[in-house]
A = this chain, B = another copy of it.
Amino acid sequence: MEQYQYLTFTARLKRISDSLLYGAKDLYKTLNLEIEPNWHLVFLLFKEKNTLTITEIAENIKISQPGVIKIVNKMKAKDYLKAETDKRDHRIQLLKLTTKAKKELPKLDKVWFAGEKTIKELLDNNTDIFDQLDKIENAIAESNYKDRTLIHLKNG
């Protein structure tokens, strides 16, 4: 399949991201941590702001709002997040880190820092791929896969 670089691109991205994801799950299990992959994205946001809403989290970590609800509910269930209703707008959940979360954060930070080192290593300290991913994301935002492909089909 090596000759079909473009046609295998999407599946390849999924395979790599899956491999890192399952690796992280496995790591947390080995370390007896109650966290899951990608929760660190939420924790990172709380470094800059101590109250966040579902919508804010979704916008910032670029995961859909129902996706964020699932993450937040799991984090609540493990006592890492607590919520109170906004007094001025009862639709809004004001989310905060719990005492447990704050207490565990230094330990978790160490694990994420080690994970960051791994990614650096895997990328061989070459940051070019970030620019390339930027370009891809921007190009998709401009016109997505379906629209572009329909145009190519039309133009033969």
Contacts from A to B (Cβ < 8 Å): 1, 4-21, 23-24, 26-27, 30, 37-38, 40-41, 44-45, 60-63, 110-124, 126-130, 132-133, 135-137, 139-140, 144-146, 148-150, 152-153
Contacts and interface: CB of A to CB of B under 8 A. Distances in A.
A111 B62 contact: no
A1 B149 contact: no
A63 to B, nearest CB: 7
A122 to B, nearest CB: 5
Nearest to A40: B7
A154 to B, nearest CB: 9
7 contacts: A10-B119, A11-B41, A117-B149, A117-B152, A124-B135, A124-B139, A132-B132
* Oligomer copy total: 2
A121 B113 CA distance: 35
Given A1-B41, A37-B10, A112-B7, A146 B15 contact: no
Contacts of A123: 6, 9, 132, 135-136
A140 to B, nearest CB: 6
Nearest to A111: B153
Contact of A27 (B11, B14, B124, B145): B145
A21 B10 contact: yes
